[in-house]
Amino acid sequence: MPELPEVETIARRLRDGGAGEPPILGEQIRAADLFWERTLAEPRPEDFRLRLPGQRIEQVGRRGKFLILRLTEDGLLIHLRMSGDLRVEPEAQVLQTHDRAVLTFDSGLRLVFNDPRKFGRMWLTPDPATVTGGLGPEPFDEVFTADWLAGELAGRQRQIKPLLLDQGFIAGLGNIYSDEALHQAGIHPLTRSDRISTQRAAALWAAIRAVLEEGIRRNGASIDWVYRGGDFQNHFRVYGRTGQPCRVCATPVERRIIGQRSSHYCPVCQPEQREARLQDE
């Protein structure tokens, strides 16, 4: 489900409260429950239930699409994958159908991890870097520059769309924001990374930051019944707009499967092999 802007929105809500929910920063855990054991990547379920009580939530952060709760002794990392969601509510509430894990606090509040498709994962570890160590740079980190991006693109021969989805390359982009960024930068999703000019790599760098910033500003995207509160879905340029007019040139948006994922693009604004042709001429 969520990509960087949605996870960032959730992190801020957990930290500061919002959308009708109180913050959980500073809460002390009284009990930890797990209803679907595969939701826990590590450690073993017994250790999860034994180690959490007594720990306090001292920081709420994000790295890529990982939500990171810094606890007294451990870090709790949560990845929502396709259908995960988090709720903060009074412990007296009735649990819902796909609730997979619950942290109950001394205050009487609880944090619930709901995940219909069961793809989501949690890690409880003293060293979160062991989980996030393979991630590429944060899009808003100073090390992520246009020059860095141009150099990395030139150093590989990958289709640009799957490359943007590779979390080891850049952390946080998913199917929505990579389609949106490629459209804004005028790059066809199948373009080989080393055929992208330095100038257009700079445009892609700017587009990545721009679409992520807009996503965060709009509190993420809310599609179907999953995830709530966001507004970015009403401003998609190409994602999910197959057959509808491109907002720039009115050409119908096309869709095709690239790297097992659907890609949405404008065939006019994002011509296939554009950079290759420029180089050949």
User: Which residues of this chain interact with DNA, rule CB under 7 A?
Assistant: 1-3, 6, 38, 64-65, 79, 81-83, 97-98, 116-119, 156-159, 162-163, 165, 167, 174-176, 192, 220-227, 230, 233, 258-262
158 is catalytic: no
* CB closer to DNA out of 33 and 194: 194
* CB closer to DNA out of 89 and 166: 166
> Least separation, in Å, of the C-beta of 178 and DNA?
8
What's the one-letter identity of residue 172? G
Euclidean distance between CA atoms 65 and 7, whole angstroms = 6
Euclidean distance between CA atoms 17 and 11, whole angstroms = 9
58 is catalytic: no
Which H or E element spans position 49? helix 45-51
Q: Which of 15, 63, 65, 218 is catalytic?
A: 65
Q: What is the DSSP letter of 197?
A: -
Structure tokens at 210: 């721009």
> Least separation, in Å, of the C-beta of 130 and DNA?
12
Q: What is the DSSP letter of 234?
A: G
Residues 6+ apart with CB under 8 A from 50: none
65 is catalytic: yes
Euclidean distance between CA atoms 28 and 272, whole angstroms = 54
Q: Which of 2, 128, 139, 189 is catalytic?
A: 2
């995940």: which residue's tokens? 115
> Least separation, in Å, of the C-beta of 230 and DNA?
6
* CB closer to DNA out of 22 and 259: 259
Euclidean distance between CA atoms 153 and 147, whole angstroms = 10
Euclidean distance between CA atoms 165 and 181, whole angstroms = 12
Torsion sign (Cα): 269, 273, 275, 280:
negative
* CB closer to DNA out of 6 and 8: 6
> Least separation, in Å, of the C-beta of 221 and DNA?
4
Structure tokens at 180: 């949106």
* CB closer to DNA out of 121 and 200: 121
3 is catalytic: yes
Is residue 120 within 8 A of residue 112, CB to CB? The reply is: no
> Least separation, in Å, of the C-beta of 120 and DNA?
9
Catalytic residues: 2-3, 65, 261
